[in-house]
Amino acid sequence: MDTSSKMIHAGDCCLNPSCDLYGQVGRGNIRKSGHTKQNRQRYQCKWCGQTYSERKGTVFYGLRVEEEKVVQALAMLAEGSRISSVARIQGIRADCVVKWLRRAGAHAEQVEEHLFKDYKMGAGELDGLWTYVRHKGEKKQA
């Protein structure tokens, strides 16, 4: 598989927009820099000194919940479950589910590129997916 079609991960390049090496993969400027309190890998750019966790640039960045719980909730929404039902089953507030859904929508472009290139999804399939996501994100909570 061509490396240009892969999604960039936190340890691949500097994620600091003001760094001269921002977004440049394979420059040798990223090193591991310990772990966060939640035992997440931290990275540091040797060029600008910026540090960040492995979740930087993802839907999960800044969340204090396990990735699996977020993924399960989003999968349930994709299967047609109501936001209130997902919240009740997951044992969380409905506004958390909405927040996760909006975060996923904000990453839509990156996800779409990955699905289009690596999974050969067609434009119609992607359009249907985002129409569904947009519809779920706009629903009001009681």
With 0.85 as the threshold, say if the pTM is over it: no
Residue 5, pLDDT score: 42
Is a pLDDT exceeding 70 seen at residue 27? yes
Q: Which residues pair with 35 in a beta bridge?
A: 41
Angle between helices 94-106 and 108-118 in degrees, nearest 10: 60
Residue 92, pLDDT score: 93
Interatomic CA distance for residues 14 and 17, integer angstroms: 8
Give per-residue pLDDT as tens, 99-121.
Answer: 998 888 877 776 676 666 666 66
**Res. 95 pLDDT band, cuts 50 70 90:** very high
Residue 63, pLDDT score: 86
Is a pLDDT exceeding 80 seen at residue 73? yes
- In the 8-state DSSP scheme, what is residue 41? E
> 141: how many CB neighbours lie within 10 A of its CB?
12
Residue 142, pLDDT score: 44
Task: Give the mean pLDDT of 3-26.
Answer: 76
